[in-house]
Structure 1
Amino acid sequence: MRKLYFLLPGTTGRFACGGLWAELKTFQLAQQICSAEVVTYRQREVDKPFLADVLKQSDLKNAIFMVSWGFDVPKLVSQLKSLQVVYHAHSAEYGFKLPSAMPIITVSRHTLGYWGQKSPHALLYYLPNQISDEFYDRHLDRDIDVLVQARKSSDYLLKELIPALRSRCRVTVIDSFVEDLPGLFNRSRLYLYDSAQYWAEQGVTEGFGLQPMEALACGCQVFSSVNGGLADYLDPGFNCHKIAGYAQAYDVERILHVLQDCNNAPLPESFFAEHRTEKILSRLTVILNEINHFFDFTQKPCEPIEPLTSTRLMGLKLKRNWNKLKKRFG
């Protein structure tokens, strides 16, 4: 297999976020299949190569560049246009287009469907994010009734719902990095997540939403928004509850009812199997084999499928309308 270069703006400081951790997990899995290396392109780091230096190498036809940082993708694609590039798509709706010669690996079926429409002639693959093995129910005493992580949370959640709950139950709001997130989830009975406002402000979609699934894996009950990639696995009324449901008073009533219900059984491990290491590694092996075969094929001269440009779509619509008119009056 060709060597994989995972392109990241940086891995420390302001670049530290959920998307970075998810990409690094994929990188670590890829290392079990082929040669792989993290390359930074904005921030130079002592222990990692820098993209400008890597591009000076002479054997890049034997490499694949994995791009993932949404807002940086158009610039990177332009910079790497003569090389073999794969887009690892987390969120959707960034607005850019990609050539059909660029395979796309998506982390959710939501994003898969977006690129299936946006780039219909590209190779598309589904590789859900990995839920690390340390996220499991330890069956401990839970001293936190309601847990919230402030980042990505809506104004409604932080300024209205949480204040209304504080006098009724034990609420913990986290607004900094958590060293032992599995441990914190195992101390919590219920986890609240409401990211719809955050992603609407960003103008893109929730790519996957790791935290609600990690909380579920640790035995928490979850109240969550169901936007973007969250709809891949959240099923309100069956494995979670929809947050921000009609009125604050109704949310409070439902949350207190769940906290008082002693029959809230955790989800079976089979629910998480698709997202555990063994399954992800198996899927990634298939995907990387197919992508390597594809890049072998692209070395041969051939004519790509005609793209669905705006001009061509307009012509197709005019042709369809003209045929309808001929059928009606002919």
Structure 2
Amino acid sequence: MRSLYFLVPGTTGQFACGGLWAELKTLALAKNLCEATLVTYQQREPDTLFLPDVLRRDDLDNVIFVVSWGFHVARLVKKLHHCNVVYHAHSAGYGFRLPADIPIIAVSRNTMSYWGQHAPNALIYYLPNYISESFRNENRPRDIEVLLQTRKSSAYLLKQLVPALRQHCQVTVVETYIEDIVGLFNRSQVYLYDSAEYWAQQRVSEGFGLPPMEALACGCQVFSSVNGALADYLDPGFNCHKIAGYSTAYDVARILDVLRSPVNRTLPDSFFKEYRQHNLLKRLQVILAELNLFFDHRRSQPSDIPSLTRWRLAQLFMQRLHKKLNQVLQSG
């Protein structure tokens, strides 16, 4: 079993974000199955491997580099062209292409579908993000009626819906990082999340959408957008409510209706089983075994399946057009 080197630009300052935390959780899972190490490539950090130093080693065939930072993947792949590389894909839509010798591990079915179309000759696997067992309904009193976080929230949510809601109920808006997010979700009755506008501006997709999933696990009633990977698990009318539904007044009416309802709508533990550690370790074990077999195979066997390049697609189009013209001529 090869060692895994998880590449991130850094772990502090501008690099401290949800994507980093998700990657570090995957690293922690991998450590249960093989040797796995964090490697930074933009800022050198204490007690952490630095990529330029690692690349001077002679034993890199025994290592699999895991790249994940979307905007950096293209240049990292170029730098690591002689190494074993896996792309841990969160968001989709960055615009780069990947060769067939780079397997892809997608954190959502939405992202897996994207790469199934854009890298049809690559090995592709599904490994959802980890939802810690600490995210659960503690059945404590819920003194926060409506909760939302400003990060990724739409202008509609902050400038229209929140002012309208505050005329009828108490709304808590969180603008900074919260250490005890589990406790906050367990104090909240309704959680609002609307990231469609944010990701449209970024021109990439919602990679997973951890906050709504974590809020659901803690027993919140969730009003959310269903863009990107949120559609993997959100089911409006059944486990959540669609936010920004036609009008501000309609959103307010539906949220107030939920606040007035005494019904316990906590989802069963089985709903979250797919995202808990036990299931993820079983999936990751299978994926790692296949990756090691693939990189053994790649050492002696080149890829021979035509890629869907623009030139290849143009050829296929001309062939199809030529075939249709021949059929018309023969029938005439």
Q: Same fold (TM over 0.5)?
A: yes
Which whole-Å deviations, capped at 9, do the CAs of 1:270-292 have from their partners, x for residues lacking one? 00000001001110110011001
Corresponding residue for residue 73 of structure 1: 73
- SS at 2:212 equivalent: helix
Aligned: 1:131 with 2:100: no
Contact 1:258 1:264 in 2 (8 A): no
Corresponding residue for residue 87 of structure 1: 87
Corresponding residue for residue 285 of structure 1: 285
Matches within 5 A, 1:240-319: 240-319=240-319
Contact 1:127 1:283 in 2 (8 A): yes
Identical amino acids, percent of aligned pairs: 62
Q: TM-score, normalised by structure 2?
A: 0.98
Corresponding residue for residue 47 of structure 1: 47
Corresponding residue for residue 205 of structure 1: 205
Corresponding residue for residue 119 of structure 1: 119
Which whole-Å deviations, capped at 9, do the CAs of 1:184-215 have from their partners, x for residues lacking one? 00000000000000000101000000000000
- SS at 1:191 equivalent: strand
In the TM superposition, residue 264 of structure 1 has moved relative to its aligned partner by 3.8
Contact 1:149 1:174 in 2 (8 A): yes
- SS at 1:33 equivalent: coil
Corresponding residue for residue 176 of structure 1: 176
Q: Which moved more, 1:296-305 or 1:29-38?
A: 296-305
In the TM superposition, residue 169 of structure 1 has moved relative to its aligned partner by 1.1
Equivalents in 2 of 1:20, 1:304: separation in Å?
A: 36
Q: TM-score, normalised by structure 1?
A: 0.99
In the TM superposition, residue 302 of structure 1 has moved relative to its aligned partner by 3.5
Q: Which moved more, 1:50-59 or 1:97-106?
A: 50-59
Equivalents in 1 of 2:9, 2:169: separation in Å?
A: 41
Could you tell me which runs of 5 or more consecutive residues in structure 2 were left unpaired when the two chains were aligned: none
- SS at 1:58 equivalent: coil
Equivalents in 1 of 2:71, 2:166: separation in Å?
A: 38
Equivalents in 2 of 1:66, 1:193: separation in Å?
A: 30
Equivalents in 1 of 2:43, 2:181: separation in Å?
A: 27
Aligned: 1:157 with 2:157: yes
Equivalents in 2 of 1:67, 1:241: separation in Å?
A: 34
Contact 1:8 1:67 in 2 (8 A): yes
Query: Structure 1 stretches (4+) deviating beyond 4 angstroms?
Result: none
Contact 1:22 1:130 in 2 (8 A): yes
Corresponding residue pairs, total: 330
In the TM superposition, residue 13 of structure 1 has moved relative to its aligned partner by 1.4
- SS at 1:172 equivalent: strand
Could you tell me which runs of 5 or more consecutive residues in structure 1 were left unpaired when the two chains were aligned: none
Aligned: 1:325 with 2:325: yes
Aligned letter for 2:75? K
Contact 2:101 2:303 in 1 (8 A): no
In the TM superposition, residue 107 of structure 1 has moved relative to its aligned partner by 0.4
Equivalents in 2 of 1:303, 1:119: separation in Å?
A: 13
Equivalents in 1 of 2:192, 2:117: separation in Å?
A: 32
The RMSD of aligned alpha carbons is 0.8
Corresponding residue for residue 220 of structure 1: 220
